[in-house]
Amino acid sequence: MMLRIPSVLAPPELAMVTSVLAAARFVDGRLSAGSAARRVKNNEEADRSAREISQLDNLVMGKLVQHPVYRNGALPLKVAAPFYARYLPGRTYGDHVDDPVMGGDGALYRSDIAITLFLNDPQQYDGGELEIRTAFGSQSVKLPAGDGVMYPASSLHRVTPVTRGERLVAVTWAQSLVRDPAKRELLYELNQAREALLAAAPDAPETTRVNTAYVNLVRMWGEI
C-alpha cells in the first residue's frame, strides 16, 4: 500500500527546516547504506552528529507521528530517526530494496514501511522522482513541499537523477504492529469505514460491529 501523507509540515516549519539544512554539514550518503544499496547510492546526508539535527528531528518526527494518515496506515510500533538527504545535479539512487533490519546499539527494528517527506518545492529541481515498483507498475512520486509518501520498504524503488537544482527530503522507516502489508492495507480500509460510521452514526449497531471487528483484528494481527 502506498499512501500520500498531505501537509505534514506547514510553510513556517518548512522554512525553519530548510534554513537549518542550508547551514548543515553534509556527508557521503553511502555511509548509512547497506552493502547492496551502497553500490547504487549517490547522494548526501546531513551529519547527524550536529546538535541542530536532533532539534530538527523533534519537529519533523513530532509532526509525522501525529498525522492521522501515518498513524492509521502504518500502525507504528517503532520509528527511526530520519536522514535528511540532498540530491544535487547528477546525484541519484539506483534500484534498491531497503535493509530489512536497521538500527544498532540494542535498538534494532524491522523496516516494514519507508517514508519520504519532501522538503522543497518540486519546481526547484528537475528529475529526482521517487519511483516505486508495485504490482500495478512503477509509480512516480514528486510531491509538494511538506507532503510525504509511505510505502512498503520491501518495494524495489529508486530516485531518478536530478538534472537541475536541489532535491531535499527527509527519509525514515517504521516497524509496524502488523508485519504483513496486505493485512495493514485491509485494516486501513476498514478503519476508513469505521471512522466514517463513528462520525455519522456513532450509536448504530453496524457501527458497533465494524468498530469491534477492527479493534479485534488489530489485536489478532498485532505483534508487540
pLDDT of residue 33: 83
Band of pLDDT at residue 35, cut at 50, 70 and 90: confident
Mean pLDDT of 40-53: 93
Mean of the per-residue pLDDT values for the chain? 95
Q: Do residues 168 and 199 make contact, with C-beta atoms less than 8 angstroms apart?
A: no
Q: Look at the block and give the residue holding cell 531497503.
A: 98
**pLDDT tens profile 183-218:** 999 999 999 999 999 999 999 999 999 999 999 999
Q: What is the pTM of this model?
A: 0.94
Segment 47-52 mean pLDDT? 89
> Angle between the 181-200 and 205-221 helix axes, to the nearest 10 degrees?
150
For range 78-97, the mean pLDDT:
96
- In order of their start, the domains of the chain are 3-176 (2.60.120.620), 181-221 (no CATH)
The answer, yes or no, to whether residue 105 has pLDDT greater than 80, is no
Average pLDDT estimate for 213-224:
97
**Above 90 in pLDDT, residue 37?**
no
For residue 47, the model assigns a pLDDT of 95
**pLDDT at residue 106, as a whole number:** 75
Span 123-171, pLDDT tens digits:
999 999 999 998 889 999 999 999 999 999 999 999 999 999 999 999 9
pLDDT band, residue 98 (cuts 50/70/90): very high
pLDDT at 43 over 80: yes
Nearest to 168 by CA among 91, 86, 46: 86
Q: Is the dihedral of CA 99, 90, 143, 26 positive or negative?
A: positive
| Other residues' Cβ atoms within 10 Å of the Cβ of residue 137 | 7
- Would you say residue 111 has pLDDT above 90? yes
How far is residue 118's CA from residue 98's CA, in Å, rounded to a whole number? 19
CA distance 127 to 159: 8
